[in-house]
Structure 1
């Protein structure tokens, strides 16, 4: 499937704020945490025009209870990905003027939760890492222009290395 990488947009944080409000209303639970993740959450980083959202809840059951309310807010529950990641519930809001919304709902403190936030924070705080990732993304998008799955898989070694470096830095600070 073809995809595109675009320059960073100053509009993305505002788009996330709107989505965050919708999700808070749909979950109706003040203990839910909602974070902007993915490349659109990193100022200056090129990205696919997709707002990735990480929702953290106390349990998968509380996430599943919100499925009807999320559907009413136009978020489609994609159950098939549970085979791959059984501890995540995944939702998509179909494209609205050139922008998709992907919602990854997990338990707060889970490995998925921690890794997504650690990678985002590493890109936000380290210019060299962010620039290297941008270059890699552009090169991989050129090589895998018609294969989003191959593009995503090819980024994995870089992401793992950043996560290892982040974990090492945290361990040495502690």
Structure 2
């Protein structure tokens, strides 16, 4: 559930994150499964061995924005608030009005060809398949969590160059020729 983080805490990878994602995925499928293409576990908790803030990132993938109004309506009935794209193209954010008993999570609805979704998948898959990059990113996140313990904005901003570098090697590699 998107909310302001008071303290930046990066923890070692936890095998339970996968099961927590599966519980969230199954709950969401019961609400909107008929309107979506798939539900993906993205973000650092989706990469085995990667240190992360203990928050599950979930991308609900849709065919196109045509179904977004129906999804908004159904999720609102289930206690979610639609927050728009929060300044990030290609992903629509939702948060719970109340604690649903799940591990803390960020919920995004993304078109299958949307920039936000494609970047999440490219970055996740690169880290899953590259141990050196995974270790480097873990070190960076741990260091930034110490330096910016009470400043989530700077913590996030200082990761940008690393993330951009990976996306340039993967998703945008043809753009640099």
Please report the TM-score for the alignment, with normalisation by the length of structure 2: 0.84
The correspondence for 2:147, drawn from 143, 146, 149, is 143
Task: In structure 2, list runs of 5 or more residues that go unmatched.
Answer: 1-5
Structure 2 residue 65 is matched with structure 1 residue 60:
yes
Structure 1 residue ranges, 4+ long, deviating more than 6 angstroms after superposition: none
Is the CA contact 1:26–1:70 (under 8 Å) kept in the aligned structure 2?
Answer: yes
Residue 31 of structure 1: how far off its partner (Å): 4.5
Distance (Å, rounded) in 1 between the aligned partners of 2:66 and 2:151: 34
CA distance in 1, matches of 2:86, 2:43: 22
Q: How far apart are the structure 1 equivalents of 2:88 and 2:82?
A: 14
Return 5+ residue gaps in structure 1 as ranges: none
**95 and 9 in structure 1: CA distance in 2 versus 1, 3 angstrom threshold:** farther
**Is residue 88–residue 105 contact of structure 1 (8 Å, CA) maintained in 2?**
yes
Structure 1 residues 20 and 62, CA gap change in structure 2 (3 angstroms): same
Partner of 2:55: 50
Instruction: Indicate the SS of the match to 2:158.
Output: helix
Tell me which of 39, 45, 51 is aligned to 1:34. 39
Call closer, same or farther: CA 1:72–1:101 in 2, change over 3 Å. farther
Which residue is equivalent to 2:3? none
Relative contact order, higher structure (CA 8 A, sep 6+): 2
Secondary structure in 2 matching 1:90: strand
- Give the structure 2 partner of residue 92 of structure 1: 95
In 2, Cα distance between the equivalents of 1:78 and 1:110? 17
- State whether structure 2 residue 157 is matched by structure 1 residue 153: yes
1:10 corresponds in structure 2 to 15
Q: Paired residue for 1:164?
A: 168
Cα 1:137–1:107 shift into 2, 3 Å: same
